[in-house]
Amino acid sequence: MGKKYYQEDIECAPREEISKWQSEGLVRSVRNAYENSEYYRGKMEERGVKPSDVKGVEDIHKLPFVSKEDLREAYPYGLLCRPLSECVRIQSTSGTTGRRVIAFYTQHDIDAWEECCARAIVAAGGTRDDVVQVSYGYGLFTGGAGLNGGSHKLGSLTLPMSSGSTERQIQFMQDLGTTILCCTPSYAAYLGETVSEKGLKGTIKLKAGIFGAEAWSEEMRRDIEEKLGIKAYDIYGLTELEGPGVGYECEEQRGMHICEDQFIAEIIDPNTGETMPDGEKGELVFTSLNKEAFPMIRYRTRDICVLSHEKCSCGRTHVRMAKPMGRSDDMLIIKGVNVFPSQIETVLINNGYSPNYQLVVDRVNNADTLDINVEMNQEMFSDTLSEISARERALVGALKGFLGIYARVHLVSPKSIERSEGKAKRVIDKRKLY
């Protein structure tokens, strides 16, 4: 057995100490944002707040929220608080055209992020003697880089596999005795299925997995644990904040401990913006405490969640977040890509179809599928199938180009998609993730 914690003095710090860090960090972060980003300064001035008004964590409600729209508007440098010469890396969301968000990191920011990931690996039972296979995508996506860095920090043998090439993934697991697997839960489920179908469970030495970047259910957890013979841990994060490691599960597997020395987590009412008490369901909002290049002040994640300060028997004192239970906006995450129904609407209209459509999202063999029912109209109709099919293919191509993922299109009769008097029911998500 190795250490139970990566940074015990931080992870198990008494509440008073955490509060002190948070107050100091908040003051520091607000000043950093105000002084170095015109965009942040503008937002704070609009709200009539000066850095001197924020003396501690109790003043956080005075600050304006930052949303994904702000990040888009300020793209690329509007929220940057350090000269580029001090930045060492950029990562980006998997976001689609027009929604892409890039984040900047100084070396200090990277170190803090990787420490959070190292904590997650240790919380999943990892030690420097473990072999950690990182099968998240690398590149701009934060998954690969984050866990890779965390594993390095811990001193584990790190296999930077990236995603895909399932046979090779399993081969490496067998040959190098991988003990900890890091990837998306859907890829873990796929690997589990392959391992179990080929009867290879006895040939691999996995003991734990760290799976995030996607919503997944308890059923899926049990399935992965059974098929790979491991304990499966959830991890939470987002590029806007740093990447994976903002929150991570301990051996209790009952909520993810949020790294409270790095972030203040709040739950707000998504409609009013009012802060909500512990145990109540609302939108998760984060404020970074130590980020230099890209501080986030009250960033609205859109994830609907519950926080708990209840004592955890693992000994960690940091607040826990439940698995997100949905989103406060209409964003769908399909194959790891952020998809907004409004984007699909735009493509349909640009291609001559009516904005009456229905999206059906499902998960087949652990991979997301997107089907779009589109109403035929007079302009798109022709008496030859080949012409209609060509138009259909053009639409599929336009969707792929715009969204970055493949969607099956089904042409249906006009007026056959249900109209509702209130908000249209545009999305049928059969994945049962929340």
Partner 1 sequence: MAVKQISVFMENRPGTLAEFVELLRGHGIDMRALSLAEAADFGVLRTIVSDPDKAQRVLAEAGFISAVTPVLAVAVSDEPGALYHILETLKNAGINLEYSYAFTTRKNQGAYMVFRVADDCLQKTAELLEENGIGMIAQEEIYSL
Closest approach of Cβ 426 to partner 1, in Å?
Answer: 19
Contacts for 295 with CB less than 8 Å, ≥ 6 apart: 29, 32, 33, 40, 79, 81, 288
Taking the C-alpha atoms of residue 69 and residue 87, their distance in angstroms, rounded to an integer, is 23
Which one of residues 16, 197, 383, 421 is an interface residue with partner 1 (CB under 8 A)?
383
H or E segment and range at residue 302? strand 299-305
Task: Identify which range of 11-19, 211-219, 283-291, 380-388 contacts partner 1 by CB under 8 A.
Answer: 380-388
Could you write out the DSSP letters of every residue in 148-167?
HHHHHHHT-EEEE--S--HH
Token digits for 256? 């993810």
Burial 91-114 (b: 16+ CB within 10 A, else e): bebbbbeebbbbbbbbeebbebbb
Rounded to the nearest whole angstrom, what is the least distance from the CB of residue 340 to partner 1 in the complex? Answer: 25
State in angstroms the smallest separation of the CB of 392 from partner 1.
Answer: 8
Relative to beta strand 263-268, strand 427-429 is unpaired
CB of 320 to partner 1, least distance (A): 46
Whichever of 322 and 417 has its CB closer to partner 1, that residue is 417
Closest distance of CB 213 from partner 1, Å: 33
User: Does the protein bind partner 1 through residue 388 (CB under 8 A)?
Assistant: yes
Shortest Å, Cβ 375 to partner 1: 9
- What is the residue-wise DSSP string for 220-281? HHHHHHHHHTSEEEEEEEETTTTEEEEEEE-TT-SSEEE-TTTEEEEEE-TTT--B--TT--
Output the smallest distance, CB 361 to partner 1, in A.
18
Confirm if 361 and 429 have CB atoms less than 8 A apart: yes
Paired sense of beta strands 102-106 and 87-92, if any: antiparallel
Q: How far is the CB of 408 from partner 1 (least distance, A)?
A: 9
**Residue 212, beta-bridge partner list:** 235
Task: Please identify, using beta-carbon distances, which residue of 84 and 428 lies nearer to partner 1.
Answer: 428
CA dist., res. 50 & res. 63, Å (int): 9
CA torsion angle for 409, 415, 420, 423 (degrees, to 10)?
Answer: 40
Q: Which residues pair with 131 in a beta bridge?
A: 157
Q: How far is the CB of 374 from partner 1 (least distance, A)?
A: 10
Q: Is the Cβ of residue 97 or residue 416 nearer to partner 1 in the bound state?
A: 416
Nearer to partner 1, 313 or 378 (CB): 378
| Shortest distance in whole angstroms from residue 409 CB to partner 1 | 8
Give the nearer residue to partner 1 in terms of CB position, either 77 or 381: 381
Nearer to partner 1, 140 or 376 (CB): 376
Q: Count interface residues toward partner 1 (CB under 8 A).
A: 17
Closer residue to partner 1 (CB): 2 or 352: 352
Q: Which of 17, 38, 382, 430 binds partner 1 (CB under 8 A)?
A: 382
Only one of the segments 69-77, 99-107, 350-358, 404-412 lies at the binding site for partner 1 (rule: CB under 8 A); that segment is 404-412
Q: Which of 59/371 has CB closer to partner 1? A: 371
Site for partner 1 in 63-92 (CB under 8 A): none
Q: Could you give phi then psi for residue 330, rounded to 5 degrees? A: -100, 15
- Cα Rg of the chain, angstroms: 23
Nearer to partner 1, 52 or 389 (CB): 389
Binding mask 328-367 for partner 1 (x = CB under 8 A): ----------------------------------------
Check residue 389 for interaction with partner 1 (CB under 8 A). yes
Q: Smallest distance from the beta carbon of 95 to partner 1, in angstroms?
A: 30
Under rule CB under 8 A, residue 411 binds partner 1? yes
**Structural tokens at position 338:** 């952020």
Q: Which is nearer to partner 1, 400 or 415 (CB)?
A: 415
Among 377, 397, 428, 432, interactor with partner 1 by CB under 8 A: 377
Task: Give 164's Cβ-side CA count (13 Å radius).
Answer: 3
Helix (H, G, I), strand (E, B) or coil at 321: strand
Binds partner 1 by CB under 8 A, chosen from 416, 425, 428, 430? 416
Q: How far apart are CA 434 and CA 375, in angstroms?
A: 30
Beta carbons within 8 Å of 329's beta carbon, 6+ residues apart: 302, 340
- Contacts to partner 1 by CB under 8 A: 376-378, 381-385, 388-389, 410-416
